[in-house]
Amino acid sequence: MSATGHRVARRLLLGGAQTAAVVLLVFAATEALPGDAAVALAGDQPDPARIEAVRAAMHLDRPPLERLLVWTAGLLHGDLGVSLTSGRPVAAALADGFGPTLLLAVPTVLLLVPAGIGLGVLAARREGGAVDRVVSAVLLSLYAVPEFALGALLVTVFALRLGWFPPTAVGYGTELASHPAALVLPVLALLARPVCSLARLVRAGMLDSLASPYVAQARRCGLSRTRVRYAHALPNALAPAAQQLARTVDWLLCGVVVVEALFVVPGLGTVLMNAVAERDLPTVQGLAVVFGLVTVLLNLGADLVTHRLAPRTEVAA
Amino acid sequence: MAVAVARSRRGLKRIVVGRPGGAARGRGARRFAPGLLVVGVPLLIALAGPLFAGDAGPRGTSLTTGAGHPLGTDFTGRDVFREVLLGGRSVVTVALAATALTYAVALPVGFVCALTRRAWLEEVLMRPLDVLLAVPSLLVVLLVATAVQPGPARLATVVALVGIPDAARIVRAAGAEAASRPAVEALRMQGEGWVRLALGYVGRAVARPLAADIGVRLTGAVYLVATAAFLGVGVAPDAADWAVMVDRNRTGLSVQPWATVVPALLIVALTMGGNLLVDAALARPHRPEKNR
């Protein structure tokens, strides 16, 4: 038990270090600006007033260490800084984009787990069988395809040729929730990669479990196939999948940015890309900290869950 | 395509039982065929396309089909066929450069960690990389893009940096497994030097898994570079680049689908084929039958 506690403590420590790394890395972006940061950010309108405004907004006249401390203290209070272009707090922009992104993310995550596990179990029912070959081929093929290319093809086929769904979310604005048809293609494009990776892991885990001595023993005891498969083999197959679930969050974050750009959904990804286009560094930094911390926390959670599911396996850092 | 792999694999399994010697060679070559076929078309266009592109003709009307242009015109009235021929090079070269750079760092770091007897050295090299694993990759690219507007060289560097933690971990894991074999102990006792040990034995032992991992990195780099280009990072807004073409021409998708669909299909084929190749490389040629 003390070994377990030790390992959990180490993992928590790593989580803390990762949090600090995200904050430092995001802060370092200001230092990476070439020459005078204020001049670099003023960009297209380099008049002295604008440069002064940027300098004041980002406290660039103070030493970096002091700025880091002030910025970190602000983060602890939920103050993410002030946008250079609109002058609004970054937290407000974040709140604006939160709804549409949640509308994309919630169905995606809700479908991801059953679809991934379902496909993995389905393929593992008979290794090398027709179902396994077809499912595995599709999973392998879609695994590395960028969302924007897949999304563009989905739009061409299902929105323009067949006319089943609207091609973009343009015109729905804040009432996106009442037009579920507009969400089908974005969610599909977003789901493709994570589902494939999850299902492949579940399939591999199920094949390993089904070939193990304890499953053979369970069969010898006369337990039904269903019970062996779902009550004995599946829980052990889920441990690596739980970890992968957190890794796919990285993909979902990337995916949300791309899918929102492709389908013109006014969510966090759009806010982020607009800020990147306008070189609004404080907004990008604020969003990056939030995205980064969400990833760190989910990875931490997944590793702890994995540890519960399969205590004997080493918890990957 | 992969259905064909599975099918041929299954068919060949029967042959292997009958004539082990001759079939193993044929199987090795045929395993890679579907992946090579799928990845070959976009790769050939990307590398050889610019040689056949010819001069830019006069600009026509935006987003039309036909009229002397085999694939129509794009959003600025350029010939889509010529843009397609030119547009693969940037994605492929940036991804290749990024992967080469990732491995140039990850390989020595991973090897030193795998072979060293000093635990502190391993901790010093690997712990910082563990910490960086949790940072979302596209976020780093976007953050850098805001601070310094990157060109292809900078984009390759950033994509390479993003890949280093994971690659170093895999090199270390593969190397550590090979370095703990009795053969290495024997070589050490014979007083073989570090270089011969690292390159002569461990390097050769891990070449195969690392070749597959380089494929994984390359597909990942293509994904990241293409996605960044689609979002307008590291490329000119009217660049001849497949990802930029998908982004800029999709407004005219209903009138001129070719300008979007052809580059999108090429990117899909590039990543899909790369993945099939990696999977074929990872499937061990002499896997014993599972006794189930």
pLDDT of residue B28: 63
Give percent of chain A above pLDDT 70.
84
Binary contact (B267, A146; C-beta < 8 A): yes
Identify the pLDDT of residue B66.
67
Q: Which residues of A touch B159 (CB under 8 A)?
A: none
Structural tokens at position B144: 């850098």
A18, A146, A280 member nearest B227 (Cβ): A146
* DSSP string for residues in chain B: -HHHHHHHHHHHHHHHHH-HHHHHHHHHHHHTHHHHHHHHHHHHHHHHHHHH---------TT--BTTBTT-B-TTS-BHHHHHHHHHHHHHHHHHHHHHHHHHHHHHHHHHHHH-S-HHHHHHHHHHHHHHTTS-HHHHHHHHHHHS---HHHHHHHHHHHHHHHHHHHHHHHHHHHHTSHHHHHHHHTT--HHIIIIIIIIHHHHHHHHHHHHHHHHHHHHHHHHHHHTTSSS-TT-S-HHHHHHHHGGGTTT-THHHHHHHHHHHHHHHHHHHHHHHHHS-TTPPPP--
B66 φ/ψ angles, rounded to the nearest 5 degrees? 75, -150
Question: How many residues in total does chain B contain?
Answer: 292
Residue A190 identity: L
Instruction: Measure in Å the smallest separation between the Cα of A62 and chain B Cα atoms.
Output: 19
Q: Is the ipTM of this complex over 0.85?
A: no
Would the CB atoms of B143 and A288 count as touching at under 8 Å?
A: yes
A296 and chain B in contact, CB less than 8 A: yes
Answer yes or no: are the C-beta atoms of A160 and B291 closer than 8 Å. no
Interface of B with A in 117-146 (CB under 8 A): 127, 130-140, 142-146
Residues in chain A closer than 8 A to B146 (CB atoms):
29, 275-276, 279-281, 284
pLDDT, tens only, B173-224: 888 777 778 888 888 888 887 778 777 788 888 887 788 788 888 888 888 8
The predicted-structure confidence for A222-279, as pLDDT tens digits, reads as follows: 787 788 777 777 877 777 777 777 777 777 777 888 888 888 888 888 888 888 877 7
Cβ distance of B292 and A211 shorter than 8 Å: yes
Nearest CB neighbour to A257, from listed B7, B138, B268: B138
Is the minimum CB–CB distance between B275 and chain A shorter than 8 Å? yes
- As beta bridge partners, residue B79 has B73
Residue of chain B with shortest Cα separation from A212 = B292
What DSSP state is assigned to residue A204?
Answer: H
Is A258's CB within 8 Å of B7's CB? no
Distance from CA of A177 to the nearest CA of B (A): 24
Answer whether A254 sits within 8 Å of B147, measured CB to CB: no
Helix-helix angle B204-230:B80-115, to 10 degrees: 140
Chain A hits for B7, Cβ within 8 Å: 133
Q: Give the count of Cβ contacts less than 8 A between chain A and B.
A: 176
Q: How far apart are the first and last CA of chain B?
A: 28
Give pLDDT < 50 ranges for chain B: 1-26, 286-292
Place of tokens 């205590």: A311
Q: Which residues does residue B66 pair with via DSSP β-bridges, in sequence order? A: B69
Q: Is the CB of residue A311 less than 8 Å from the CB of residue B165?
A: no
Axis-axis angle for helices B258-282, B204-230 (nearest 10): 160
Q: CB-CB: which of B3, B10, B148 is closest to A32? A: B148
Any A CB within 8 A of B292 CB:
yes
Could you give the dihedral angle defined by the CA atoms of residues B198, B199, B205 and B208, in that order, rounded to the nearest 10 degrees?
Answer: 130
The answer to whether B173 contacts chain A (CB < 8 Å) is no
pLDDT in tens, A272-302: 888 887 777 788 888 888 888 888 888 788 7
What torsion, rounded to 10 degrees, do the Cα atoms B217, A141, A152, B85 define?
A: 60
- B253 neighbors B260 (Cβ within 8 angstroms): yes
Give the integer Cα–Cα distance in Å for A275 and A25.
18
* pLDDT band with cut points at 50, 70 and 90 for residue A314: very low
Nearest partner of A202 among A316, A118, A305, judged by Cα: A118
pTM score of the predicted model? 0.80
Question: Distance between CA atoms of A300 and B65, rounded to whole angstroms?
Answer: 52
Domains of chain A: 91-278 (1.10.3720.10)
